[in-house]
Every structure is written in structure tokens, then in C-alpha cells.
Amino acid sequence: MTTILVDADACPVREEIYRVAARLDLPLVLVTNGARPVRPPPLPKARLVIVAEGADKADDWIAENATASDVCITADIPLAARCLEKGARVITHKGHEFTPANIGSALAGRELSRHLREIGANAGGPAPMAQADRSRFLSALDRVVMAALRDQVGKG
């Protein structure tokens, strides 16, 4: 069954995810290390997983539990790569879809940005969320979830 897995600690589109999960009656798992308060929605198929504090503990849980029928929501590029290796679909909170075709360049860009930050050449961060980003995210989530559900029916 297609499950929506959410890297929930820094996810600004949880309400949008809840609406899609409720509309499609899909299981939803919010994964957090507890550093920020995250409450699961009052949906029968939603659950909150709180992992031990520490770098990448939530990412590890998501990557270990992701399946080829799942949709993962994260802005963490290494986590996206790990989920793609399991066959899951991955989108960011701004609606960008990571695929096997684009994850390599995303990882390389992340490494370049890290290097530029280390040498002090890159002071900017990501742009704040705009309403257009939320709309793009909802459209991408709907498209990706529907593709996952179609694939699941085709394999079943």
C-alpha cells in the first residue's frame, strides 16, 4: 500500500500533506527526532514516529522503511537518494521531484554549496516559502501519489 513518509522536523507543508492523505485515505507517517513539536493529524491512518535524537536518525528510519510503493517528502538530498534507491518516489516541500535521472546532479550541487559555504563564498540560503510553492507542492504531491497508486495496481 502506498504510504506517505514525511521528514517532518522542518516540513512547512504538513497541513497540505494531511489534506491529501485524508482525501485519498492513505497511510501517513510523520518521522521526527522530537527537536520540534510535531503533532499527528486526527486521521485514522496517520502516525507519528519519534526517533532518538541525533543527526540523521529520522533520515535513517525513513530510508530503512521506504518501499517502492511509497512517496517520501523531504528536502534532504542524501535522504532523497536513499529513498530513490529503494524505488520510492520523492518530492520536496516546494514540489520538486527527485528522480534517478536528476539525483546525481542534486547531490553534486549540494556538495558544491557545502564547499562554497566552507570557504565563505556562499552566504545565501533557500528562498522562503511562497504561496506559489505551496500550490506547486500540492500539484506535485497529487501527481506523484497518483502515479504510485497506478503502479501499485499494475503490480498487484
What integer pLDDT is reported at residue 120 of this predicted model? 75
User: Could you tell me the three cell numbers for 92?
Assistant: 520536496
The DSSP code sequence of 88-110 is -EEE-TTSPEE-TTTHHHHHHHH
Q: How far is CA 60 from the centre of its chain?
A: 13
- In whole angstroms, give the CA distance from residue 103 to residue 2: 22
Q: Are 29 and 3 in contact (CB under 8 A)?
A: yes
Question: Domains of the chain by range and CATH?
Answer: 4-155 (3.40.50)
What integer pLDDT is reported at residue 123 of this predicted model? 58
User: Could you tell me the three cell numbers for 53?
Assistant: 535524537
Q: In this model, does residue 34 exceed pLDDT 90?
A: no
Pairing type for strands 46-50 and 71-73 reads unpaired
Helix (H, G, I), strand (E, B) or coil at 3: coil
User: Could you tell me the three cell numbers for 47?
Assistant: 502516525
What integer pLDDT is reported at residue 125 of this predicted model? 66
Q: What percent of the chain has pLDDT over 90?
A: 66
pTM over 0.85: yes
Q: In this model, does residue 32 exceed pLDDT 90?
A: yes
Q: Are 79 and 108 in contact (CB under 8 A)?
A: no
Pairing type for strands 71-73 and 97-98 reads unpaired
> What pLDDT, in 10s, does the model give residues 70-125?
999 999 999 999 999 999 999 999 999 999 998 878 777 767 767 677 777 765 66
The amino acid occupying position 29 is V
What integer pLDDT is reported at residue 110 of this predicted model? 66
User: Could you tell me the three cell numbers for 104?
Assistant: 546525481
**Cα three-residue angle 146-140-67, rounded to 5 degrees:** 55
> What pLDDT, in 10s, does the model give residues 110-139?
677 676 777 777 656 677 889 999 999 999
